[in-house]
Amino acid sequence: MNVGDGIGAKILGFEPKTQSVGKTVMRRILTPQATTVIRLAITAAVAFSLLYSGMLHLSQPYAFVHAAARYQLLPIRIIGLMILVPYVQIVLAACLLTGRLERTALVLTAGLFGIFACAQIAVLMRGDTISCGCFGFASETVGRTSLSIALAGSALCVLLRVWCPGQLPSPPADQAISGALQGRDAAARDPAAQPLSS
């Protein structure tokens, strides 16, 4: 098939079979239930990474502050405020896991990962070799891996923010029961629908 045949098919209203098959496959795969499960899985992964990092930082608060100081991006007078970051991480993780203030939590988490990424980029541009401080004493040196984790976390939060909220659709049986109950309530409120008494 040449280009002219493709244009002629579009003019006549015919779509190539490959496109229609692809769309059908995607619709069957990305059902409402599947998209919700995927979204929840991504949310859980982001939340547990925040929770794990926050708990490690709480158990090693001075190690985290020392790692943050080695970035040489903040004045010494306010570097001590970094000790509050683990609490922020844990609160954000709790919001994501419970669904409370989920949209706000996603925006703040994306910003937090973005700040981590920018700090690591600055270190890489200076050519310094320091610990990233992401997971306490077990943290690795700032490099492609640590930067990729921060960038991926921020990107996933942005994706979830666009995707949020997602809810599983009601099963057909529940929908039928709900419709029947609504119809019964509507009939009870409508005097014309009630039978005449003898």
CA distance 91 to 30: 31
Contact 90, 54 (CB under 8 A): yes
- Residue 121 located in a structural domain: yes
153 belongs to a structural domain: yes
Answer whether residue 150 is part of any domain.
yes
Range of the domain at 80: 30-167
Average pLDDT of the segment spanning 40-57: 89
Higher-confidence residue: 65 or 9? 65
Least confident among 40-44, 46-50, 63-67, 117-121: 63-67
Whether residue 196 is contained in a domain is answered as no
What was the pLDDT predicted at 132?
Answer: 80
Higher per-residue pLDDT: 1 or 45: 45
Q: Are 97 and 54 in contact (CB under 8 A)?
A: no
- Mean local confidence (pLDDT), 130-146: 77
Asked if the structure places residue 56 within a domain, the reply is: yes
pLDDT value at 138 more than 80: no
Q: Can you give the pTM of this predicted structure?
A: 0.64
Q: State the pLDDT at residue 162.
A: 83
The count of domains in the chain is: 1
Cis peptide bond N-terminal to 165, omega within 30: yes
Region 179-191: mean pLDDT is 56
For the chain, the average pLDDT equals 74
Cβ-based burial of 25 (10 A; exposed 0-12, middle 13-18, buried ≥19): exposed
The verdict on residue 81 lying in a domain is: yes
Question: What pLDDT, on a 0 to 100 scale, did the predictor assign at position 155?
Answer: 92
Whether 47 has a pLDDT exceeding 50, the answer reads: yes
Largest CA distance in the chain: 95
- How far apart, in whole angstroms, are the C-alpha atoms of residue 189 and residue 6? 58
The answer, yes or no, to whether residue 110 has pLDDT greater than 90, is yes
How much is the pLDDT for 58?
86
Is residue 82 assigned to a domain? yes
Is 172 within a domain?
no
